[in-house]
Amino acid sequence: MTMDVRVFGSSLSLAEEAALLLGETLSGPGNHNLGLAGGSTPMPTYVRLAELNLNWPAIDLWLGDERWVDRESPECNAGMCWDYLASRTAAPFHEVPLADHEQPMEAAHAYESVLKDDILSKTDGRADVVLLGLGDDGHTASLFPDTEGLAETEHLYTATHVPKVDMWRLTATIPLLSQADHLFFLVSGATKAEAVRWLVNPLEGDPQIPARYVADAAENVTVLLDKSAASLISSPTTS
């Protein structure tokens, strides 16, 4: 695994540079796919990314994770990703079929079929570019510490109950994330600084966090930070 760490002076420059880097990675010929992070950090990056002149009809957008909520809920990642990115482009946007299923695991496995048949089939069966966030406990996507999703070694997508947020979550698994061609972590703010150190410079005795498991299993990892999030790591490549 190669990990490239880049630090930007502010959350604004982080959002701008992250969008340009993602755009560059999605600009090659042929089909691409982009796995989207939920939460709030990516919002300004998505707005800027949507402004780039990319071949959007050839870039399939999919969700790195989703919450088991109503589609209209403000907590629904599909709603945020639609508002801030997908609705502003001509990209095919693949939502998790929440309303079609009674059980979260059924919806997760239905989405796995969508991934395999309609998205990854266009890119040699591999995830192309995946954008991930980082929680202050070191979770990424909806792979939280001490949850079953981390242990999934077969399915590309699974459902897992997360006691910390008292919610069922549907998430890409390590088998899916680890074979991505380009994995980007996008992290902003001082509250994430310790989790960033656990991800980038883990020391003896640090928690073994899900984000590090994902990074260790991947090939190309780029960690994009603002100065606040990078405040506890040493000698990153500052841009």
Query: Which residues of this protein are in contact with ligand 6PG, per CB under 6 A?
Result: 37-41, 64-65, 77, 133, 135, 139-142
- Whichever of 40 and 121 has its CB closer to ligand 6PG, that residue is 40
Q: Which among 1, 35, 44, 4 is positioned nearest to 189, based on CA atoms? A: 44
Q: Where are the alpha helices (DSSP H) in the chain?
A: 11-25, 43-50, 77-84, 104-114, 174-177, 193-200, 210-217
CB of 67 to ligand 6PG, least distance (A): 6
Minimum distance of ligand 6PG from residue 43's CB (angstroms): 8
Residue 235 Cβ, how far from ligand 6PG at the closest point, in Å? 25
Q: Tell me if residue 149 falls in helix, strand or coil.
A: helix
Closer to ligand 6PG by CB, 90 or 166: give it.
Answer: 166
| CB-nearer residue toward ligand 6PG: 140 or 178 | 140
Give the residue with the Cβ less far from ligand 6PG, 56 or 144.
144
Nearest distance from C-beta of residue 105 to ligand 6PG, angstroms: 18
> What is the closest distance, in whole angstroms, from the C-beta atom of residue 114 to ligand 6PG in the complex?
18
- CA nearest neighbour of 43 among 95, 90, 69, 79: 79
Query: Within 10 Å of residue 169's Cβ, how many Cβ atoms?
Result: 26
Of 44 and 133, nearer to ligand 6PG (C-beta) is: 133
172 vs 184: CA distance, rounded Å: 14
